[in-house]
């Protein structure tokens, strides 16, 4: 009888402990739900990352032809045709990108989003003319550039939603981007004049603004210090030669 009484007491305490654990679990879930409900839409759907790049961005400025008629002497009636090729290449030394992102549709572990990165870089833009090419070889080199894409994309795993607890994540985006290069310089000096040339069609004018399609791939991982880091690759899929490799850093903590 005594043993039965002891077993009864043990079972009673066990049931009470299980009930208390379930009650605590319920309270924690309700508290988490309460915290979830108090977050604003902006907190849950607006993100800000930034990227650093060094010696890893190249843009080949597309070739454009300018045709002129040239007279060898006053009164010359047989005009020669002169064709000049304006082109160049941009190479970034160091750049920083601020990348705001807005989640449009959020699932537990993935999301559909819009993002609008803005990059400012120290870069060199040269004329890119080669020996034997009738390029505008006297054009000065320029410095600095701005790149501003508008992208729509899909992300899954880490850094996709504010409550995601995965250890790795990825994202793929596509859209169009604007490049302004160079910010300084890149002009034809005054000594290189076109006064004795007659343009056939469009006359030469310095080009600084370029647009192109772009695809961006992002990878994120959780470090041993619980920080989110990763890599980003952006490139033009057709029409232009452009690519950029950068390191990802998460600017907002969720």
Per-residue pLDDT of the chain (254 residues; tens, 9 = 90+): 544 455 444 444 444 544 454 444 444 444 444 454 578 899 999 999 999 999 999 999 998 888 888 766 555 556 678 778 888 999 999 999 999 999 999 998 899 999 999 999 999 998 865 544 555 657 788 999 999 999 999 999 999 998 888 999 999 999 999 999 999 998 887 666 666 777 888 888 889 999 999 999 999 999 988 899 999 999 999 999 999 999 999 987 77
Q: How far apart are CA 166 and CA 109, in angstroms?
A: 8
Give the pLDDT confidence score for residue 59 in this predicted structure. Answer: 97
Helix residue ranges, H only, the chain: 2-38, 41-45
Give the pLDDT confidence score for residue 131 in this predicted structure. Answer: 47
User: Is the whole-model pTM more than 0.85?
Assistant: no
Q: Is residue 204 a contact partner of residue 66, using CB atoms and an 8 Å limit?
A: yes
Give the pLDDT confidence score for residue 13 in this predicted structure. Answer: 46
Q: Is residue 67 a contact partner of residue 83, using CB atoms and an 8 Å limit?
A: yes
Q: What are phi and psi of 23, to 5 degrees?
A: -65, -40
Q: Where are the domains of the chain?
A: 1-38, 39-250
Which two three-digit tokens encode residue 113?
Answer: 């989003």
Give the distance, in angstroms, between the CA of residue 222 and the centroid of all CA atoms in the same chain. Answer: 20
Give the pLDDT confidence score for residue 251 in this predicted structure. Answer: 82
Can you tell me whether residue 102 is helix, strand or coil?
strand
* Residue partners of 231: CB distance under 8 A and separation at least 6: 218, 219, 245, 246, 247, 248
Q: What are phi and psi of 120, to 5 degrees?
A: -130, 125
Positive or negative, the CA dihedral 189, 194, 196, 197 is: positive
Length of the chain: 254
């Amino acid at each position: 009888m005594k043993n039965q009484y002891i077993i009864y007491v043990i079972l009673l305490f066990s049931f009470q402990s299980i009930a208390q654990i379930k009650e605590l679990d319920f309270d924690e879930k309700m508290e988490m739900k309460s915290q979830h409900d108090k977050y604003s839409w902006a907190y849950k759907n607006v993100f800000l990352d930034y990227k650093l790049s060094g010696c890893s961005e190249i843009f080949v400025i597309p070739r454009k032809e300018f045709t002129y008629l040239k007279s060898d002497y006053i009164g010359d009636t047989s005009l020669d045709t002169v064709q000049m090729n304006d082109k160049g290449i941009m190479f970034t030394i160091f750049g920083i990108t601020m990348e705001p992102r807005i989640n449009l549709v959020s699932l537990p572990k993935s999301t559909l989003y819009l993002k609008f990165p803005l990059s400012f870089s120290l870069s060199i833009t040269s004329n890119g003319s080669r020996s034997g090419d009738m390029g505008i070889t006297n054009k000065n080199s320029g410095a600095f550039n701005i790149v501003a894409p508008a992208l729509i994309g899909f992300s899954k795993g880490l850094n996709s939603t504010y409550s995601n607890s995965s250890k790795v994540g990825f994202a793929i985006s596509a859209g169009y981007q604007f490049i302004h290069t160079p910010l300084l310089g890149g002009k034809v000096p005054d000594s290189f004049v076109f006064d004795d040339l007659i343009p056939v069609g469009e006359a030469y004018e310095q080009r600084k603004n370029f647009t192109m399609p772009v695809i961006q791939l992002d990878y994120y991982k959780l470090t041993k210090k619980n920080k989110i880091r990763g890599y980003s690759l952006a490139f033009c899929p057709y029409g232009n030669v452009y690519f950029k490799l950068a390191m990802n850093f998460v600017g907002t903590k969720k």
